[in-house]
Each structure stands twice: as C-alpha cells, then as structure tokens.
Amino acid sequence: MSDRAVGRRTEDSGFVRFLKRKWFAIVLVALLVIVALQNGVANDQATIFVFWGQVQLPTWLLIVIVFLIGGLTGWILARNRAARRARQGRR
C-alpha cells in the first residue's frame, strides 16, 4: 500500500473536521430553531421591561434575540482571549 492511500484514510475531510469541532454549536442552533418554531406556532407575547418602559414582542423573536446577544458576547470574548494570547506570545 502506498503512503498516499494510507494518508487518505487517516485524514478527515474538511466537512468532518468542521463537524468534530462545532458539533455542540450545531446542536444548540438546532435546539434554538425547534424552540423558536414551537413558540412561533403558539403566537405568545413576551413583555420585557427596559429601564422606564416595556416592550411586547413575540416569544420566538425574544428567543432569537437572546441567542444572538449570547453569540455576539461569546464571539467578542473569544476575540479578546485570542488577542491576549497573541500579545503574550510576542513577549
């Protein structure tokens, strides 16, 4: 057997590597879609109190907004951590 054939067997495709790294995020997004669809069908309204006022919006929209805020926060924290590690590596 040639080295090339053995290498092909041991190497994962890009898609498989992506799934191995991001499986938890994929599961969370799938759960988000399920919960948002279930609440979209029910047509419930959520009331949010913001400082001196209140806002009413569909529950599914609130779920999506909270998910996006959490994703943005995680992305910013990961960027800051990577920048901090890069600075420490330069010293």
What average pLDDT values come out for the chain (91 residues) when binned by 10 residues?
Answer: 50 79 85 83 85 90 89 89 82 59
Please report the pLDDT score of residue 59 as a whole number. 86
Please report the pLDDT score of residue 3 as a whole number. 47
| Nearest to 61, CA basis, from 36, 31, 24, 27 | 36
Please report the pLDDT score of residue 10 as a whole number. 55
Please report the pLDDT score of residue 53 as a whole number. 92
Quote the CA–CA distance of 75 and 54 in Å, as a whole number: 29
Please report the pLDDT score of residue 11 as a whole number. 66
Unique residue bearing structure tokens 């907004």 = 65
Please report the pLDDT score of residue 90 as a whole number. 67
